[in-house]
Structure 1
Amino acid sequence: MPVNAFVARSHVLHRALAYEPQKIVSGSGISFTLESGQVVLDACAGPSVSILGHHQPEVTQAIVDQLGKIGYVYSGSRYTCDVAEELADELLQESPGGLVKAIFVNSGSEATDAALKLATQYFCEIGQTERINFVSRKQSYHGNTLGALSVSGHESRRAYYRPWIADNVSFVDPCYGYRAKEVGESDAQYVLKLKQQLENEFLRLGPDTVAAFVAETVSGTTLGCVPPVPGYFAAVREVCDRYGVLLILDEIMCGMGKTGTMHAWEQEGIRGPDIQMVGKALGAGFVPLSGVLLNQKIFDGIAGGSKVLAHGHTFQAHPTACAAALAVQKIIKRDSILDNVSTMGCCLEAELRQEIGHLPYVGDVRGRGLFWAVEFMLDPLTKTSFPVEHNFSNRIVEVSAELGLNILGNLGKTGSFDVELVIISPPYIVTETEIKSIVQLLKRSILLVIEEYTLRFGKKAELALGRIQCQL
């Protein structure tokens, strides 16, 4: 496929070179308007970011007010500013799960790097310098910087950069009950197997050499909104505690209210992580901001040692970004928006299961709160995957866009499980009427792609389609 003419002319290096990006000229509520005049329902809030929609006057005013006070404060100096302190207070005033301090950075990838460096510094400060190994999960994604890619089990995103990727990271299986549980295996048996695998990996490395286990509380784009099997994180927490390993939870995508509670781990029956990454919904996309939250133990380690955070960035705790995020978080609390996440999440689940769940090629509908995915299988009965080159779910994303619906698709070859999926994660302010419109547009897109796929791949697809339809 040739390089698009517009992309070739543009001085912006666009991420996709083969097609011309459509220009967004304005946004309101959960929709945005293209230069063509088409209004698009944003059913994924970008990559699960714009949780208050695309226009929020209170946030705009907070940004303007802050710029009227001071535009920049260097976090590496002896100075701070009110909004950074107030945002940290807003997030941590009740010490959720024992988390008591925050580091504010720009992107989620930066947050992951900061968390890894924080864990490394902590063990150096307390004299356990041999703890240099990290354990993560296959088919995970924690960001696109080199540090974040090192702990990401995303095969295609790691491929170009393997010479740069750290060699002190190993991987265990994800908690992916839909595809990985054996026939007849109970949830409890599956959790026990994963628990033993994690412990065995710690023992293989030498438990005194392991710094942290890194995991997404609810898997994001690589597996598609996969909630953990009940008991999984309690088992993980137990193994980490037994060997003095830190638990680092990545809630950049799934956290800050997306699953119906402010932190996704609150639904897992654990006391909380030692370190947590947050982002995306933290500032709702108005100004880039992500963060790292840490508990008292980590703080005490640094306070009892060098008394200096070794990690830092020029734009860390940027006042304008903190002002925007503070306004976002105050609106969420004041307007009880997480109640809407829970209520509309139930509505979204019901609509997806009723309208989408029975369609041909639909294997699984899963998620929590307003964070849902549909996984497609060539044959759901045998859990036979689509060939990656058939591009099934990305075609649904393309057709949805043509119909005025913005959703997320899969991210290529992420690991041993070939996962075809779409993610529906609308803004927290979504209404029941909007959810019904989203699901109907998605249903229409899926049916159009099914018809197109059957014509394209002929008898092979017809046989699979017929076999599935017989079960309906």
Structure 2
Amino acid sequence: MADAATSAVLHRSLHREFPRLIGGDGSYLLLEDGRRILDAAGGAAVACIGHGDARVHEAINKQLKKISYCSSLFYTTDVCEQLCQELVDSTHGAMKRAYIVNSGSEAMEAAMKLSRQFFLEKSPPEPNRTRFIARQHSYHGTTLGSLSMGGHVVRRAKFEPMLLDCISRVSRCFPSRDKPADETNEAYVSRLAEELDGEFQRVGPDTVCAFVAEPVVGAALGCVPAVPGYLKAMRSVCDKHGALLILDEVMCGMGRTGFMHAWEQEGVPPDIQTLGKCLGGGYQPIAGLLASSKVVDVFMKGSGSFAHGHTYQGHPITCAAALEVQKIIREEKLIQNAAQMGDLLSASLYSLLADHPNVGDIRGRGLFWGIEFVADKSTNSPFPSSADVAMKIGELGLTEPYRIAVYPSSGTADGVNGDHIIIAPPYNTTSAEVEKIATTVARLVKDYFSSKKF
């Protein structure tokens, strides 16, 4: 246990003591005090092939013996070329080039700058396009640019005076909270599309670079998929006004929803797509973006150069790790397993928790499931932020007799109040492990609420 008073680390909380990890074994985390924790969340839905895979370790070591750093201003490497080709090929022609960075926040920053430069490079250029439209209560990263793009109220609060003012927001796609019971999905989608069109008109259609959204909302709302037809409708509005569509798949992409790319289920490829967590499975810090032919062709006919760069972009070690992770996922058909095990996980969670008085909704896709908690099920009213329900459930989960890790988050209902946890086990999980996760999470939730008085 790291001593909060003496640690030299600027931890996320200076008032907590953090358990110390000493190892990982498949779906389990090993702690210094002897606890063996079932990692049912993969951290922030990251560990998609589990922990301690010797094949990835070997790929990293092999690359270390070749070259550990590449200055992308002058050189490239085999592993970067191979990884980018793997990513482009996975889109079956929808995307043309990949750009490798180190975090999802960096990927969103790059997507913002790429879309702006696209309009400067195209013929004729459109220099007035400097704005973006995103969604309320979204999360797209923690750097100032990506935080500006997001609409997560709590995470933005302390930095509002420093954030960009060229981003406006429309409603989220959150049917369990925002769609009346008597409204059809078609009417709901039409209403959201009209709202987006109205926002283009309000700010000036020729000033907007792109509309930005997560196909399945991760940390901010807890695994909320877009309703059928939503992405197609948003695409149509963007096309009407000549703007790009950016889909943020940092958390929901790279197989997490049972499809390699979350947009595949809707058949709506974006112009620019961000990637992250399950790209490298946590073995190295890596993220990236994919750019469509529409975007790349404009650059090829123009300057041929993206005015952006990072010291460690396309880092050989990170690329080697991610390439091996993607090879394992492809060769072992782990995305298909994620879809099958996801069906089992969802059925088990519904069976065990759907009737619980403090479970408001269970939603998700593949191996990406969220459980939202409510104070009153009849009114769908959330717990206040002061109750800190999700975090307390997460902390309780690490103790006996549960020994399970879930991903807690708050602000689900309105950006401040409301709680959910995310369940996101590795793609190579088994049916026995899924049943254990579901029964343990159910016991954890029931025990927590039975011991509390709010």
Q: What TM-score results when the alignment is normalised by the length of structure 2?
A: 0.97
Hey, what's the Cα distance between the residues in 2 that align with 1:192 and 1:221?
26
Deviation of the 1:381 alpha carbon: 1.6
The 10-residue stretch of structure 1 (395-404 or 243-252) with the greater mean CA deviation from structure 2: 395-404
Could you say what secondary structure the match of 2:96 adopts? strand
Tell me the equivalent position of 1:160: 158
Hey, what's the Cα distance between the residues in 2 that align with 1:297 and 1:245?
12
Tell me the equivalent position of 2:450: 451
Tell me the equivalent position of 1:325: 322
Could you say what secondary structure the match of 2:84 adopts? helix
Counting only pairs closer than 5 Å after superposition, residues 206-355 of structure 1 correspond to structure 2 as 206-270=204-268, 272-355=269-352
Partner residue of 1:86 out of 79, 82, 88: 82
Hey, what's the Cα distance between the residues in 1 that align with 2:2 and 2:79?
44
Residue identity (%): 45
Counting only pairs closer than 5 Å after superposition, residues 51-450 of structure 1 correspond to structure 2 as 51-77=48-74, 79-93=75-89, 95-96=91-92, 98-126=94-122, 127-270=125-268, 272-402=269-399, 403-412=402-411, 415-416=414-415, 418-450=417-449
Could you say what secondary structure the match of 1:122 adopts? helix
CA contact (8 A) 2:153 2:415 kept: no
Hey, what's the Cα distance between the residues in 1 that align with 2:435 and 2:118?
48
Letter in 1 for 2:105: S
Could you say what secondary structure the match of 2:12 adopts? coil
Hey, what's the Cα distance between the residues in 2 that align with 1:94 and 1:366?
26
Could you say what secondary structure the match of 1:249 adopts? strand
Deviation of the 1:419 alpha carbon: 2.6
5+ long unaligned stretches in structure 2: none
Hey, what's the Cα distance between the residues in 2 that align with 1:164 and 1:105?
24
CA contact (8 A) 1:222 1:414 kept: no
Report the count of equivalent residues.
Answer: 450
CA contact (8 A) 2:410 2:416 kept: no
Letter in 2 for 1:301: V
The 10-residue stretch of structure 1 (92-101 or 182-191) with the greater mean CA deviation from structure 2: 92-101
CA-to-aligned-CA distance 1:313-363 (integer Å, 9 cap, x gap): 000000010001100111111111111101100110011001111112111
Shift of the 205–99 alpha-carbon distance from structure 1 to 2, 3 Å rule, reads same
Letter in 1 for 2:223: C
- Which has the larger share of helix? 1
Deviation of the 1:95 alpha carbon: 4.5
Over 4 Å off, 4+ runs: none
Shift of the 393–94 alpha-carbon distance from structure 1 to 2, 3 Å rule, reads closer
Deviation of the 1:412 alpha carbon: 4.6
CA contact (8 A) 2:367 2:425 kept: yes
Hey, what's the Cα distance between the residues in 1 that align with 2:267 and 2:68?
41
Deviation of the 1:137 alpha carbon: 0.3
Shift of the 236–135 alpha-carbon distance from structure 1 to 2, 3 Å rule, reads same
CA-to-aligned-CA distance 1:218-248 (integer Å, 9 cap, x gap): 0011110001111111100111111111000
Could you say what secondary structure the match of 1:50 adopts? coil
5+ long unaligned stretches in structure 1: 458-472
The RMSD of aligned alpha carbons is 1.4
Shift of the 123–17 alpha-carbon distance from structure 1 to 2, 3 Å rule, reads same
CA contact (8 A) 1:153 1:414 kept: no
Hey, what's the Cα distance between the residues in 1 that align with 2:434 and 2:90?
33
CA-to-aligned-CA distance 1:357-412 (integer Å, 9 cap, x gap): 11121111100000001111111121111122122222211211112110011145
CA-to-aligned-CA distance 1:251-303 (integer Å, 9 cap, x gap): 00000000001000001132x00000001000111011100100111112222
CA-to-aligned-CA distance 1:175-222 (integer Å, 9 cap, x gap): 000000124111111111100000000011111111000001100111
Hey, what's the Cα distance between the residues in 2 that align with 1:210 and 1:380?
40
The 10-residue stretch of structure 1 (414-423 or 99-108) with the greater mean CA deviation from structure 2: 414-423
